[in-house]
Amino acid sequence: MEEVKVIGFWASPYVYRVTWALNLKGVEYEYQEEDVFNKSDLLLQYNPVHKKVPVFVHGGKRIAESTVILEYIEETWPQNPLLPTDPHARAMARFWTKFGDDKKPDFFGFFKSAGEEQIKAAKEAQECLKILEEHGLEDKKFFDGDKIGMTDLSLGWLAFWLEAMEGAAGVQVLDVNSFPRLHAWIRNLKEVPVIKENHPDQTRLLAYFKWLREMYTKPATT
């Protein structure tokens, strides 16, 4: 069988999308940890355009960008499909995955800011979350239907990472009263065995985000 390798970083939700997908499909792979604050020559060689993780290697060929990797994994290992069969439903899965990624600055603004700016940023994040809950998730168990799919993996950062970022930033955006359906979805997601057994340690993640936030909110020195 050809070599399958993931080059990743322990705190990256983008990397987890890929490892979750491989685990859900029962594909064996080798994992290589990368220090993204001290990038290796290998990473720069494997992803010269973006210099980021995850990078996926299969039979010597490299692919970067987590959503591109997910589509590749889905096509190469069709068991336990991550996309629905119906073409319109597939389009919806891709639409919501793109929404989550395109709105990243709006979602994360609150984490990088403080004071008045943070209040405004938190409101913007909540507007995006409201759209996700009311138009994306609606009354479904998972974003793509009854079982976990590509959209759920792409939005998986809401389940583990957001809590740690809220803790580090001292503000709650995803409160259960405003977002009952998203909270129910998070509970369902965390119960899926592959997800339950594969996620970053919360304590370590909180410490990491506290450290990151200090870097972002440190006053600039001239």
| Interaction of residue 139 with another protein, rule CB under 8 A | no
In the complex with another protein, the residue whose CB is nearer, 179 or 208, is 179
Q: Which of 2, 41, 49, 197 binds another protein (CB under 8 A)?
A: 49
Q: Where are the alpha helices (DSSP H) in the chain?
A: 13-24, 41-46, 66-76, 87-102, 104-112, 115-131, 150-154, 157-169, 180-191, 193-196, 202-217
What is the per-residue binding string for another protein in 96-135, x denoting contact by CB under 8 A?
A: --xx-------------------------------x---x
Question: How close are the terminal C-alpha atoms of the chain, in Å?
Answer: 56
Q: How far is the CB of 71 from another protein (least distance, A)?
A: 6
Where residue 6 falls (left for φ over 0; alpha for ψ -120 to 50; beta otherwise) is beta
In the complex with another protein, the residue whose CB is nearer, 2 or 197, is 2
Total number of residues that touch another protein (CB under 8 A): 25
What is the per-residue binding string for another protein in 59-78, x denoting contact by CB under 8 A?
A: --x-xxx-xxx-xx--xx--
Please say whether the beta carbons of 136 and 82 come within 8 A.
Answer: no
Q: Which of residues 80-99 bind another protein (CB under 8 A)?
A: 87-88, 90-92, 94-95, 98-99
CB atoms < 10 A from the CB of 30, how many?
A: 10
Residue bearing tokens 């792409």: 154
Whole-angstrom distance, CA of residue 127 vs CA of residue 45: 39
Whole-angstrom distance, CA of residue 194 vs CA of residue 25: 10
| Interaction of residue 48 with another protein, rule CB under 8 A | yes
Summarize as ranges the residues that interact with another protein (CB under 8 A).
48-49, 58, 61, 63-65, 67-69, 71-72, 75-76, 87-88, 90-92, 94-95, 98-99, 131, 135
